[in-house]
Structure 1
Amino acid sequence: MAGEKPNTEDRGGALEGIRVIDLTQMLAGPYCTQMLADQGAEIIKVEPPAGDNSRFVGPYRPDDTQRLFGGYFATVNRNKKSIVIDLKVDEGRALLRRLVRGADVLVENYRARVMDRLGLSYESLREENPALVYAAIRGFGDPRTGESPYVDWPAFDVVAQAMGGLMGITGPDRNTPIKVGPGIGDIVPGAFAVTGILAALLRAKTKGQGQFVDVSMVDVMLALCERIVHQYSFAGHVPRPEGNQHPILTPFGLVKARDGFVSIAAPTDEWWKKLCHLIGREDLLADETLATNELRTRNKDRVYSAIEAFTSAHTKRELLQLLGGRIPFGPVYDISEIAADPHFAARNMLAETSHPGTATPVQLAGIPVKLSDTPGRVWSSPPLLGEHTDEILVSAGLSAAEIADLRQRKIVQ
C-alpha cells in the first residue's frame, strides 16, 4: 500500500525501522543524515536531476575509472539510498508528498522559505503525516523559532565560524583570527541536528505528533564557544585569540617536540606535581609564584618555557612513552600518524568500504558513537545517483507502469 515501509536488510542499528527523507546537500545536512544512517535508519536521499552539488567534488582515487563521485561526497553519504526527483514540477512535488506519508523524519538544508515556495513547507507536509519530524539546518535559523535579520542570507562553514565567535578566539595571537581546519561550522550543526531529531522522534513515538527542528549554524558555533559568554557576562572580558594556550588554565596547550608539537593539560595542582616530577623539574614545585593554577596562568610564559625545554629535546614518539598515560597528554598527529596508531584501528575509526571504479576499498572516518547492544556499522558505500529510485517508488506503492511513465517524462531517474 502507498506509504508502507519496505522490508530492508538488518543493519543491526538502534534506529532500524526509522525512515528519513533526506533533501540535504553539501556537508551539514548530509553529515546529520549519515549519523542517523550509521545507527540503522533508512535514509532516502532525494537528489535533483544533476545530483547533490558535492557528488563531483574530488579528490578521486588514481585508479578510479568511473569518477561517479569523489571523496567529499563519499565521506558524508555512506549507508544511504538515492532517488532522483525533479521537485521543480508538480508531479515531482506530489511524489515527495507520497514518500513523506511513510516517513518518520525529513531533513533539509535549503535557505529559509525555499521549501515554502515549493509548496512543501513543514505545515503542508504535516497535513500528509502529523507525526513527521521536520528538521532544517540553515545559516541563521528559521523564522518559525525566531526570525533573524539575516534569515535570508546564504551561509557556509566559514561564515558560521566567523559570526558564531569561534574565529574570534582562535589564532596565533590576539590580532589574527584563524579558521579552524575542518568544516565544523557545518559538521557540528549537523551533529546537533541529530540530537534535536532524536528528541522530537521520541516525543512523536509517544504522543503521535511531530514537530519542526530548527538548527542555526551560527547559533551552534556560539554554543560551542560557551566560554566566551560567561567570560563576558561574569567578568566583562572580551576574549581574543590566545594561540595554543588556554586563557584560564595552565599548563593547557601545545609545546614543541623535536619533530612537531604535543599537547599537555596539567592545570590542577596534582597534575602539575606529576608533570614536574616527570620532566625532572621538582624545583618548580618550590616556586610559590607557581603554586596554584591562577598563579601559573599569571606566569604562563615561565611555565611553558620550562616544559618546552624538556619536550623540545624529545620526539613525539619518545614523549608518548615518557608522558602518555601519566598525565593528560597527546601528540599532534597528521593523518599518516593516525593511520599508524593502534587506537584508531582498535576503535575501527578508519572504516573500509568499496568504491565504484576502484579495485581496492577506500577508507572513511568510522562511527564515533558506539552502542553496546546495537552497534552501528558501515554497511554500504555511498549510492550512485538514482541507484534506488525503482525500489523506493515500489515501496511507496507505485506500479511499474507509473514508474516507467515518470522516467519517460524525466520526473524521476
Structure 2
Amino acid sequence: MEKGIFEGLKVLDCASFIAAPAAATVLSDFGADVIKIEPPGSGDPYRNLPNLPGYPHSEHNFAWMLEARNKKSIALDLSKAEAQAVLYRLVAEADVFITNFPPNVREKLGLTYDKLAPLNDRLIYASFTGYGEKGEEANKPGFDSNAYWARSGLMDLVRADEETTPARSVAGMGDHPCAMAFYSAIVTALYRRERTGKGGHVSTNLMANGVWANGVLAQAKLCGAKFSRRRPREQALNAVTNHYKCKDGRWIILSLLNEERQWPTLARCLGREELITDERFATKADRHARSVELIRIFDEVFATKTLAEWRKLLDGSGLVFGVVGILDDIPNDRQMLDNGVLVPFENDTMLTVSSPIWIDGEKKVQPRKPPGVGEHSTEILRKAGYDEAAIENLRASGAVG
C-alpha cells in the first residue's frame, strides 16, 4: 500500500504527554490520519517538557517532534459544550479514539466509552491510565517514573545493592514500551472489528506494563522463590555476564550464556590463553566459585584497550557482548541507520527515531514535522461539515482555538 497499511484509518488522539499519544504516532507511521486534540493556548503540556530544568537545550522541540510527528492539530476547550459537540461529530466518523484522561475526568467531560460508543458502533475506544480502570487508585495521576518504573520494583532492582540510592528513570523510558502495548491492543481490536464489524473498549496502564517488564522476577516472587542478596558488580556471581570498563572510560558488557563452549574463545580474545588451563577456572563451577577473582583479572585486561579496540577483537568471534551505549553514539550508529531505526524527516536531513515495527512489503510514511497548537483547526472543522460562520462562532466562544 503506497500510503501505508492504515491508509484511511481515522484516529483521534485526545491524550497528553507520551504513552498514549505515541501509540497514535505508530499508527500514523503506517499511514493513519491522526488528529491531535489539545487545549487552546499552550496545547498539550508535553510541548513544554524541553523547557523543564535538566533537559537538553535545543532550538528544536525534540520531545514534541518525536511524539507528534505526522499529526494534525485541532485546539478544543473540552470544558465547553460547544467543543464537546465538535468532538462528538469527529468521533462519529473516526475509527479510533485515544485518551489518557482518568475515568473521573472522562465522566466530567462527557468522554466515557458509554457516551461515545453509541455515536459510532465501529469505534475502537482506547483508554490509557496510570494504575488501571478500577480500584481506589483508578483516578490517581501517574507518570512512567512512578507508576511504571518505581511501582513495579524495577527502580529498586537495578541498584547495585540495597545500600545504593534507587536509580531514576529517563524521560519516556517506560512510556514508549507502554505505547507499543497500547498500539497492540488497538490493532487487536481493529482485527476483531474486521471479523465482527463491531468496535469496543481496549485499555492498558503504566503499572501493568511495569510489572510485565519486571515479569521474570515478579513471577519468581509470586512462586515464593528465595532471593539471594544483591551484589555489586565487583562481586557478581558470574564474571562472563558482567560489564567492564575499557581504557577510554567506555564500558562493555559480556553475556556468555553458553559458557562451557565459549570460555576458551573468550580467553583467546582477551589475550589470556593461560586461563583456559588454569586450574582455578577449569570448570564453570570453578569460575562461578571464584567469580570475584576472575572479575579482578578481567577488570585489568579490559582496562588495557579502548572500546573500539575491544570491538575489533570480539566482533566475529561468536561471543555475545554489547557496547554500553551513550547518546553521542546514536546519530552515527551505522547499524541503526542501515535498519531504519533512525530516519530523516520529510524534506529535511534531521533524523528521528522510527517506531520499532517493520512489515514486509509495507512502507512507513516519511515522518512529517509536528503541528502547532490548533494549526489544522479550520481544515478539520471544514472536513467535518462546519461552514465558515459556524467556525467563526466556535472561535468566538473560545470552544476552538
Report the TM-score when normalising by structure 2. 0.88
Give yes or no for the alignment of 1:132 onto 2:123. yes
Are the counterparts in 2 of residues 249 and 267 from structure 1 also a CA contact under 8 Å? no
2-side partners of 1:17 and 1:248: how far apart? 54
Asked if residue 373 in structure 1 is aligned to residue 361 in structure 2, the reply is yes
Letter of the 1:345 counterpart: L
Mapping 1:31-50, distance limit 5 Å: 31-50=22-41
Specify whether residues 310 and 396 from structure 1 end up closer, same or farther in structure 2 by C-alpha distance, changes over 3 A only.
Answer: same
In 1: Cα distance, 2:186 partner to 2:58 partner: 39
Matched, 1:343 2:332: no
Is 1:405 the counterpart of 2:397 in the alignment? no
One of 140, 163, 186 as aligned partner of 2:175: 186
State the Cα RMSD in Å: 2.8
- 2:309 maps to 318
2:10–2:34 Cα contact (<8 Å) kept: yes
Q: Which residue pairs with 1:219 in the alignment?
A: 208
Gaps of 5+ in 1: 1-9
Separation of aligned partners in 1, 2:371 and 2:178: 24
The structural deviation recorded for 1:246 is 11
Q: 2:139 aligns with which of 130, 139, 152?
A: 152
Deviates more, 1:317-326 or 1:364-373: 364-373
Matches within 5 A, 1:9-408: 12-50=3-41, 51-58=43-50, 64=59, 70-143=61-134, 147=135, 149-160=136-147, 161-176=149-164, 177-234=166-223, 236-238=225-227, 251-259=240-248, 260-268=250-258, 269-286=260-277, 290=281, 296-326=287-317, 327-353=319-345, 362-408=350-396
The question of whether the paired residues in 1 share the 8 Å contact of 2:14 and 2:38 is answered with yes
Contact 2:237/2:291 (<8 A) preserved:
no
Task: List gaps (5 residues or longer) in structure 2.
Answer: none
The answer for the alignment partner of 1:3 in structure 2 is: none
Question: Judging changes above 3 Å, is the alpha-carbon distance between structure 1 residues 32 and 164 closer, same or farther for their aligned structure 2 residues?
Answer: same
Read off the aligned partner of 2:141 and give its amino acid letter: P
Amino acid at match of 1:52: D
Instruction: Write the deviation string for residues 226-259 of structure 1: whole angstroms up to 9, x where unpaired.
Output: 1212332446234776556998865223111111
Deviation at 1:354, TM superposition (A): 6.8
More helix by share: 2
Structure-2 change in CA distance of 1:241 and 1:133 (3 Å):
farther
Q: CA offsets, 1:186-236, max 9 Å, x none?
A: 222122101111111110122112222121201101100112123324462
Give how far 1:273 is off: 3.2
Moved over 6 A (4+): 60-63, 245-249
Structure 2 equivalent of residue 4 of structure 1: none
Secondary structure, counterpart of 2:49 in structure 1: coil
Q: Distance in 2 between matches of 1:214 and 1:30?
A: 14
SS at match of 1:251: helix
Q: In the TM superposition, what whole-angstrom CA distance separates every residue of 1:35-54 from its partner, at most 9, and x where no partner exists?
A: 11112111110011130002
Distance 1:118 1:330, change over 3 A: same
Bigger mean CA offset, 282-291 vs 371-380 = 282-291
Aligned residues: 392
Aligned partners of 1:231 and 1:239 also within 8 Å: no
